[in-house]
Amino acid sequence: MVKNRLKGSNFLDLTFLTGEELEDLITFALKLKREGMKGIKPLNGKSIGLLFEKPSTRTRVSFEVAVLRLGGHPLYLSGGELQLKRGETIEDTGRVLSRYLDGIVFRTFSHERLERLARVSSVPVINALTDECHPCQALADMLTILEYRDGFEGLKFAYLGDGNNVAHSLMRAGTKLGMNVWIATPPGHEPRKKIVDECMEYCRTYHSSLTVTTKPREAASAADILYTDVWVSMGKEEESEINQALFKDFQINDKMISLAGEDVMVMHCLPANRGEEITDDVLDGSHSAVWDQAENRLHAQIALLDMIYG
């Protein structure tokens, strides 16, 4: 069972969970959302550090509230306010924090930096975003799809935009859950080859499919889910003008909606640059699942923490 596999463990990415275990976790999150915690407080008396080297709205607030609802004490730690700023190594920081805390939720840059912290930590480490992947976002996204569609198998999931950390986690989750995943990016912005190869293996195991293309209209055609993210990731703002030209055909707008399935779900992990990767009328329109998706960060992370500490 996924509960036994996650108990006391790190959660660095989605690679170590099977499709069945991933679906168990998402189903559990939906159950908790609908029925509530019913007095369960697995973090009672525990302190969880939120070590953030990148800014955040949804990830920070949803984790703080999740820890509080589970009876714990969240402690926000900005990387710029710690001795990391003066050159203390991430390993030394991890060793010290492990002596004070019962868990570390880490939002950082390189995935290798997350792995270095996890190697020396004596308490569970949770990935709150790296440049390679964003697994907690994918949990919330899959929870939203389950809530709207009652299942995953055979759905066409089309992601339009940059092949970034969010796209990587969506590829892993979607192919493990039996979906037909399409990733449409401009040339030069494809997802990392090693993750594409990894997900192709999942396709063989879970009877799913993965198509990486530069043709957004083909990806959007008859899609059950249309998903996008900002065209410029954090730390790469200087690329904004270049990306505007490269990505203009990847915008989710009324024309793209008309190509998709009749009751297509529109998803965006937020924050959104309205009028760039998605238009106002689509983001706020009848097809949008974006606000439920944002709320589900909380419920997915409550389920994850419960499985690690329960």
Residues involved in catalysis: 107, 134, 137, 229, 269, 297
Amino acid at position 154, single letter: G
Q: 53 is written with which tokens?
A: 């080297």
Provide the Cα torsion 96, 101, 103, 109; round to 10°.
-40
- Which amino acid is residue 4, in one-letter code? N
Q: Which residues pair with 48 in a beta bridge?
A: 74, 103
CA atoms within 13 A on the CB side of 1: 7
Q: Where do the DSSP E strands lie in 102-234?
A: 103-107, 125-127, 156-160, 180-184, 209-213, 225-228
Question: Which two tokens mark 93?
Answer: 């920081």
Looking up tokens 């937020």, which residue turns up? 270
Tell me which residue of 246, 249, 252 sits closest to 268, measured CA to CA.
252
Q: Are 106 and 128 in contact (CB under 8 A)?
A: yes
Distance CA 235, CA 233 (A): 6
The reply to whether omega before 271 is within 30° of 0 (cis) is yes
Max intra-chain CA distance, the chain? 55
DSSP type of residue 248: G
Amino acid at 139: L
Q: Is the dihedral of CA 81, 84, 90, 93 positive or negative?
A: negative
Q: Is 194 exposed, middle or buried (0-12, 13-18, 19+ CB in 10 A)?
A: exposed
